[in-house]
């Protein structure tokens, strides 16, 4: 019986569908954890071989063959270190979300995930069959209960493992980021520990995958529910925790480094940077194009892009019209100088005039309205997409969640692009993030943050002409979108009923726009995308 057990938490950034690449990364990481860190057991994230979430790739016969080959490769090449690795297990006509414990080149145990989440961004019941049994394994004399992600969120699996004699729980996870998620994870782990009275090691995936960002934050908790080790958020790497036995024979984790919890602004900003970096890099784009308006949304998006990709891979384009203020031109130029990026100025005035001239007879007798405003936005889209096509760089969209919610954006205009970094950030959060980024080093001119927001599509235009002030709009939107509150419930929070009704009507009316919007990083409890599934056509009335 061993007196100590060293467990390595391999907090890795993996790629969905790249089974060969993921297997190679697992092998390299396991060998390094053994040779450099002395690990006895290396934990890898949930579905590490396939990447998470693999979605309907799971139904493809080619993926099944690659998974089976990947497991054989792991067994053949990892003979001197135990690893627990997540993979989709194909068993007859069903699939399990499983974890394989590989010891001395053989699969010593397989745990099938029992609790399948089917809420928010998760739809695992579409793909997987639930497991029904506890899985225990001996690791150098330590009786270890194996769990996969959601197994920790319900009491049953941990209790079954403890009843079977588990002295330690190990949990492999692909738990996506949302604000305050780490607190929720640790509170959940603490609740399970209070029920079963044994320590726990928790490894989480890191990296961006489409709309989702995985933040890592892997941790170890003792039998009293105290975090004794926590890996840094949003960082790839391997961290080792050591476990020993106390005089009573109980398993005790030794104290390690506990990375501090990030502030809300720091964690959201880090998620946005990682999401952009991985989306652009994993798709193989050489860089990005951004339309820079002189407003706070595009300014924040530009800062995120430079932090994610480096200044050499970012090209900002200012596209003034007759309504663009000198302040906007000056501030866009100043931010580009501060960040050291390539910066172009391309006027849309000629395109705008030519378009209006072409439509003159068709518009005869009709008053100017939002149509002329939208023409300007679509002129800008033509220039940005032309540059994107010619250079191969992806266009980043700069709209925020408040605008997306109420349709304050132009379809086939400023909504065009390949990825929308701040799509899930309310306007009030955008301001907080801009100030946070400037606290690290000034990259956004202060008056960009302080000026009253305007689309500058007509003379003297302000956002407040069309929308309630953002300090009123955003709490109403949060109540409806993230909490599913009714008009009555939001009104009870102190908001004017007519205003609430108008806002909610705008949200429902503009679902058709959101369905055509690019994906963006999810940071809230509920984002437009995977976990927002409202009908486009609906007769529902509030």
Let me know if 75 is a catalytic residue: no
In the chain, the percentage of residues whose pLDDT exceeds 90 is 91
How many whole angstroms from its chain centre is CA 288? 19
Kindly report, residue by residue over 110-161, the tens digit of the pLDDT: 999 999 999 899 999 999 999 999 999 999 889 999 999 999 999 999 999 9
Kindly report, residue by residue over 387-434, the tens digit of the pLDDT: 999 999 999 999 999 999 999 999 999 999 999 999 999 999 999 999
Kindly report, residue by residue over 459-516, the tens digit of the pLDDT: 887 877 888 999 999 999 999 999 999 999 999 999 999 999 999 999 999 999 999 9
List, as one string, the DSSP characters of 250-263.
-EEEPP--BPPPPP
Residue 397: closest CA among 427, 428, 371, 418: 418
Q: Where are the domains of the chain?
A: 4-261, 266-467+510-514
Residue 233: closest CA among 201, 192, 264, 209: 264
Which residues, other chains included, contact 213 with Cβ-Cβ below 8 Å and sequence gap of 6+? 176, 177, 207, 234, 271, 274, 275, 278, 521, 522, 523
Q: Of 46, 178, 236, 242, which one is the catalytic site residue?
A: 46
Decide if 393 contacts 371 (C-beta within 8 A): no
For residues 21-42, average pLDDT: 96
**Helix, strand, coil percent content, the chain, rounded in steps of 5:** 40, 20, 40
User: Cβ-count burial of 117 within 10 angstroms (0-12 exposed, 13-18 middle, 19+ buried)?
Assistant: middle
Kindly report, residue by residue over 179-205, the tens digit of the pLDDT: 999 999 999 999 999 999 999 999 999
Residues 210 and 16: their CA atoms lie apart, in Å, by 10
pLDDT at 541: 74
Residue 234, pLDDT above cutoff 90 = yes
Kindly report, residue by residue over 91-105, the tens digit of the pLDDT: 989 999 999 999 999
Kindly report, residue by residue over 367-377, the tens digit of the pLDDT: 999 999 999 99
In the chain, the percentage of residues whose pLDDT exceeds 70 is 99
Q: Which residue has the tokens 């409806």?
A: 480
Q: Of 115, 139, 149, 427, which one is the catalytic site residue?
A: 149
Which residues, other chains included, contact 300 with Cβ-Cβ below 8 Å and sequence gap of 6+? 422, 430, 433, 434, 437, 444
Residue 2, pLDDT above cutoff 70 = no
pLDDT at 224: 95
- The encoded tokens of residue 456 equal 């500058």
pLDDT at 542: 67
Residue 1, pLDDT above cutoff 50 = no
| CATH homologous superfamily of 4-261 | Carbon-nitrogen hydrolase (3.60.110.10)
Residue 69, pLDDT above cutoff 60 = yes
Let me know if 113 is a catalytic residue: yes
Residues 282 and 295: their CA atoms lie apart, in Å, by 29
Residues 115 and 130: their CA atoms lie apart, in Å, by 6
Confidence category of residue 539, pLDDT binned at 50, 70, 90 = confident
Residues 490 and 482: their CA atoms lie apart, in Å, by 12
Kindly report, residue by residue over 157-181, the tens digit of the pLDDT: 999 999 999 999 999 999 999 999 9
pLDDT at 465: 81
Kindly report, residue by residue over 296-341, the tens digit of the pLDDT: 999 999 999 999 999 999 999 999 999 989 999 999 999 999 999 9
pLDDT at 329: 93
pTM score, whole prediction: 0.95
Kindly report, residue by residue over 237-258, the tens digit of the pLDDT: 999 999 999 888 899 999 999 9
Residue 472: closest CA among 502, 451, 432, 446: 502
Q: Which fold has domain 266-467+510-514?
A: Rossmann fold (3.40.50)
For residues 1-17, average pLDDT: 91
Q: Exposure pattern of 332-367 as b/e (b: 16+ CB <10 Å)?
A: bbbbbebbebebeebebeebbeebeeeeeeeeeeee
Residues 209 and 529: their CA atoms lie apart, in Å, by 13
Q: Which residue has the tokens 């033509």?
A: 382
Q: Of 6, 25, 113, 401, which one is the catalytic site residue?
A: 113
User: What is the rounded radius of gyration, in angstroms, for the C-alpha atoms of the chain?
Assistant: 26
The pLDDT mean for the chain works out to 94
Let me know if 265 is a catalytic residue: no
Q: In Å, how far are 149, 157, 258, 386 from 12, measured between CA atoms?
A: 16, 25, 18, 36
Residue 108: closest CA among 73, 70, 146: 146
List, as one string, the DSSP characters of 260-305.
PPPPHHHHHHHHHHHHHHHHHHHTT-S-EEEE--SSHHHHHHHHHH
């Amino acid at each position: 019986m061993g007196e100590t057990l060293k467990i390595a938490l391999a907090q890795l950034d993996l790629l969905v569908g790249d089974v060969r690449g993921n297997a190679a990364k697992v092998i390299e990481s396991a060998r390094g954890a053994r040779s450099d860190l002395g690990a006895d057991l290396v934990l890898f994230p949930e579905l590490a071989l396939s990447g998470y979430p693999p979605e309907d790739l799971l139904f493809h016969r080619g993926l099944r063959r690659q998974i089976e080959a990947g497991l054989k490769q792991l067994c053949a090449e990892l003979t001197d270190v135990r690893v627990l690795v997540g993979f989709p297990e194909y068993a007859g006509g069903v699939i399990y979300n499983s974890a394989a414990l590989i010891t001395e080149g053989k699969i010593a145990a397989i745990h099938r995930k029992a609790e399948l989440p089917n809420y928010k961004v998760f739809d695992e019941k579409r793909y997987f069959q639930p497991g029904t049994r506890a899985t225990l394994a001996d690791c150098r004399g330590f009786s270890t209960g194996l769990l996969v992600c959601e197994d920790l969120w319900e009491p049953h699996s941990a209790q079954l493992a403890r009843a079977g004699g588990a002295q330690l729980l190990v949990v492999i996870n692909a738990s996506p980021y949302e604000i305050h998620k780490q607190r929720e994870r640790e509170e959940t782990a603490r609740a399970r520990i209070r029920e079963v009275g044994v320590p726990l090691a928790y490894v989480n995936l890191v990296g961006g995958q489409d709309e989702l960002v995985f933040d890592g934050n892997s941790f170890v908790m003792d039998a009293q529910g105290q975090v004794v080790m926590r890996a840094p958020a949003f960082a790839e790497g391997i961290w080792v925790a050591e476990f020993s036995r106390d005089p009573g024979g109980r398993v005790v984790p030794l104290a390690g480094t506990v990375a501090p919890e990030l502030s809300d602004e720091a964690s959201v900003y880090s998620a946005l940077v990682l999401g952009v970096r991985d989306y652009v890099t994993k798709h193989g784009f050489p860089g990005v194009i951004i339309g820079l308006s002189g407003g706070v949304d595009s300014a924040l998006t530009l800062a995120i892009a430079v932090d994610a990709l480096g200044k050499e891979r970012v090209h900002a384009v200012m596209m003034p019209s007759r309504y663009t203020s000198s302040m906007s031109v000056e501030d866009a130029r100043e931010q580009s100088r501060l960040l050291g990026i390539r910066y172009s100025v391309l006027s849309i005035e000629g395109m705008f005039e030519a378009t209006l001239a072409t439509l003159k007879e068709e518009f005869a007798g009709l008053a100017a309205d939002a149509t002329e405003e939208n023409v300007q936005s679509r002129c800008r889209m033509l220039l940005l997409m032309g540059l994107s096509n010619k250079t191969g760089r992806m266009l980043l969209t700069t709209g925020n969640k408040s605008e997306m919610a109420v349709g304050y954006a132009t379809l086939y205009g400023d909504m065009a692009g390949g990825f929308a970094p701040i799509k899930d950030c309310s306007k009030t959060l955008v301001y907080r993030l801009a100030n946070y980024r400037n606290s690290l080093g000034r990259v956004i001119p202060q008056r960009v943050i302080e000026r009253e927001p305007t689309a500058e599509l007509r003379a003297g235009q302000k956002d407040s002409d069309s929308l309630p002030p953002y300090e009123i709009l955003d709490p109403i939107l949060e109540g409806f979108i993230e909490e599913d509150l009714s008009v009555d419930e939001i009104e009870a929070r102190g908001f004017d009923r007519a205003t609430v009704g108008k806002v909610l009507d705008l949200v429902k009316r503009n679902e058709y726009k959101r369905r055509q919007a690019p994906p963006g990083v999810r940071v809230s409890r509920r984002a437009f995308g995977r976990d927002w599934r409202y009908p486009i056509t609906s007769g529902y009335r509030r």
